[in-house]
Amino acid sequence: MSDWEIFKQNIEPHDGIENLPPPPSWRPFSQERKPGESRLKRRGETFQVRPDEVKMINAALYLRRPLLITGKPGTGKSSLAYAVARQLKLGEVLYWPITTRTTLKEGLYSYDAIGRLQEAKQQENLNNQTLSPEERREQIQQIEKYITLGSLGTSLLPSKYPRVLLIDEIDKSDIDLPNNLLTILEEGFFEIPELVRIKKEVDKVTVRTAYTDETDEKTASEMEAEVENGRITCTAFPFVVMTSNGERDFPAPFLRRCLRLRMKSPTKEELTRIVTAHFNQATAEQEKIQQLIEGFINLGDERTLATDQLLNAIFMVTEGRIPATEGKTFAEDKLVQQLFQDLGRVEDED
């Protein structure tokens, strides 16, 4: 039984939780975070971009085309969007995770019809008299409280510079979503039917957007937006990053309208730079850490591994949570092997 263990086997309740150390830098659940700050934005601070990736990012910016990024889990596909937003000062990344049930409408906007109906009934009970035109207009305008733009819808709001939209794991989507999505991106506008129907009575409403980071200087003031005549039209095509783990093929019309980039597994030198960014150069250059990196790369030839698995193992080693074993490298440690489990298969029972 090692001293670093907080939870122990067959021991009575104790105060060991008081010895829990600070979290890793990539899991910053601590007082250092600013209230309202998105934890995801920190991905851009440590992302190590390659020259070929730089060229494709610039091509997507110039051509106003979505960037479809494929690669193994943990190769930094999502982090690329945060790195671009950080370097170019484009504000909060609009994050849209995709599942098999995701619809295009969810990405554009949501309408709380039940909440709107409940308010309308309450108003009906309170006001049995005939409403004046101005009172009726005010009542109709209350619809704005029940409409929230999704990440895709927010990315199409008028702006001087492109907004950054991350559509994560699009390969998990319904078969029709990719083509439906590109129709919107090709046109650059969409309408909200609930607002179009009332545009003669109320031509402008203020709705909530998908922005949530109150600390971002660029987009903190855009948590609400004005919509005129029920239509949103972009003035700067968003920088769109779509990630895929390669679980399905996409139709040709979809691929034709995208720029494609495949993220390669990082080399030893690139992993060393990533470790340096998360820890420091002295840590990255330690012999035991270099051996751990080499072991990670060797296992990557036969397993699907993510970079954060390596970072997890290094954190445990550098904090002394995984002690050195005589005659063995850290990569051969049983706990390290468990941290390096294959993401591409279900483990068999022992």
Q: Which residues are paired to 167 by β-bridges?
A: 96, 242
C-beta separation of 48 from 273 below 8 A: yes
Cβ contacts of 6 within 8 Å, gap of 6 or more:
16, 17, 19, 20
pTM (two decimals): 0.85
- The Cα 315–Cα 23 span in angstroms is 9
Q: What is the DSSP string of 58-104?
A: HHHHHHT--EEEE-STTSSHHHHHHHHHHHTT--S-EEEE--TT--H
d(CA 164, CA 207): 20
DSSP SS3 for 223: coil
- pLDDT by 10s per residue, the chain, length 350: 457 888 888 788 999 899 888 888 777 765 555 555 566 667 778 888 999 999 999 999 999 999 999 988 888 899 999 999 999 999 999 999 999 999 999 999 999 888 777 776 766 655 556 667 777 777 778 888 889 999 999 999 999 999 999 999 999 999 889 989 988 989 999 999 999 998 988 899 999 999 998 888 888 899 999 999 999 999 999 999 999 988 788 989 899 999 999 998 889 999 999 999 888 888 888 988 998 999 999 888 888 888 889 999 999 888 777 776 655 677 778 888 889 998 877 655 54
| Single-letter residue type at 264 | K
